[in-house]
């Protein structure tokens, strides 16, 4: 029997399941990273095995690639795929204009490259990820290891002139060592509390020597699918301003629930 899901996991699952319904055979699909995106990969894997869905997935991290292969999804690289029909990914925060903070899982660089190489980006999230103003979640900045302390100082100095409430920054760690991304870079997390002008901040961060990319996704997301613990889902379209609502159940096979550790 599948394990009992928490309300948050149910919300993530129904959002992922609704997004999976958008995927059609023949599509090249960007596969995000994180706990919500992992639900999507499981849902798509079940559609591949049970419904004959044939897609080519472009993962945004090594762990997503491993999960996709495990569930039977054909995996390729962005260089081979060249352009994608759709990318589906999670978010750490999103606002009413569908601007995002991403990178809590450390894959923000690949996630942004894949998302911008797609006809459409869809974010899947539980309702708790929606905020009025971005910034409560720490903003990740990916930096090269060489001279990272100098880069960190430059970031903090630049924040003085930005419309933010906090300016603390910390090097993300993996035990006793610095956390490393798939590209071997470090991540500095910025504890800003509130970001008044996300576009201005994103541009300023990426102009600093040593900064590879930042976790602000501005004008990239086209739709967000919000899941709730009671099975409700809302799909919001930034272009049309429409909101589509629905209700999904949790009756799935044991295989879908085999790995809840992501």
> Known binder of ligand: residue 237?
no
Task: Classify domain 7-130+219-250 at the CATH topology level.
Answer: Rossmann fold (3.40.50)
Burial 225-235 (b: 16+ CB within 10 A, else e): bbbbbebebbb
Is 35 annotated for ligand binding?
A: yes
43 closest CA partner among 9, 24, 19, 27: 19
Chain Cα centroid distance, residue 158: 26
Q: Please state the pTM of the whole predicted model.
A: 0.92
**CATH among 3.30.70.580, 3.30.420.40, 3.40.640.10, 3.30.70.260 for 139-214:** 3.30.70.260
Annotated binding-site residue? 246: no
Residue partners of 52: CB distance under 8 A and separation at least 6: 25
72 is in an annotated binding site: no
The pLDDT of residue 5: 85
With tokens 């889902």, the residue in question is 233
Q: Which residues are catalytic?
A: 111
Q: Parse the chain into domains and list their residue ranges.
A: 7-130+219-250, 139-214
The owner of tokens 């995996």 is 75
Strand residues in the chain grouped as ranges (E): 28-31, 56-59, 74-75, 86-89, 93-94, 100-101, 121-126, 139-143, 168-171, 173-174, 177-178, 186-191, 211-214, 216-217, 223-227, 232-237, 243-247
Q: What is the pLDDT along the chain (262 residues), one digit of tens a residue?
A: 356 789 999 999 999 999 999 999 999 999 999 999 999 999 999 999 999 999 999 999 999 999 999 999 999 999 999 999 999 999 999 999 999 999 999 999 999 999 999 999 999 999 999 999 999 999 999 999 999 999 999 999 999 999 999 999 999 999 999 999 999 999 999 999 999 999 999 999 999 999 999 999 999 999 999 999 999 999 999 989 999 999 987 655 545 555 444 3
Residue 34 is labelled as binding a ligand: yes
* 254 has binding-site annotation: no
């Amino acid at each position: 029997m599948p394990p009992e899901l928490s309300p948050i996991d149910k919300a993530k699952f129904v959002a992922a399941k609704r997004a999976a319904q958008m995927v059609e055979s023949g599509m090249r699909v960007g596969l995000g990273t994180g706990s919500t995106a992992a639900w999507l990969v499981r849902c798509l894997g079940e559609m591949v095995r049970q419904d004959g869905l044939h897609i080519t997935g472009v993962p945004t991290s090594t762990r997503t690639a491993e999960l996709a292969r495990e569930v039977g999804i054909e995996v390729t690289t962005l260089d081979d795929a060249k352009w994608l029909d759709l990318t589906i990914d999670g978010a750490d925060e999103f606002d009413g204009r569908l601007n995002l903070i991403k990178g809590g899982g450390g894959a923000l660089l690949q996630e942004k490259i894949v998302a911008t190489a797609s006809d459409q980006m869809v974010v899947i999230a539980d309702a708790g990820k929606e905020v009025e103003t971005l910034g409560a979640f720490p903003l990740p900045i990916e930096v090269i290891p060489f001279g990272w302390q100098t880069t960190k100082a430059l970031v903090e100095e630049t924040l003085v002139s930005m419309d933010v409430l906090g300016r603390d920054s910390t090097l993300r760690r993996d035990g006793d060592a610095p956390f490393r991304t798939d590209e071997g870079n470090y991540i500095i997390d910025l504890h800003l509390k509130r970001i008044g002008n996300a576009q201005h901040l994103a541009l300023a961060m990426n102009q600093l020597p040593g900064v590879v990319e930042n976790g602000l996704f501005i004008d990239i997301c086209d739709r967000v699918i919000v899941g709730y613990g009671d099975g409700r889902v809302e799909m919001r379209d930034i272009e049309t301003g429409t909101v589509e609502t629905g209700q999904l159940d949790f009756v799935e096979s044991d295989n879908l629930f085999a790995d809840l550790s992501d």
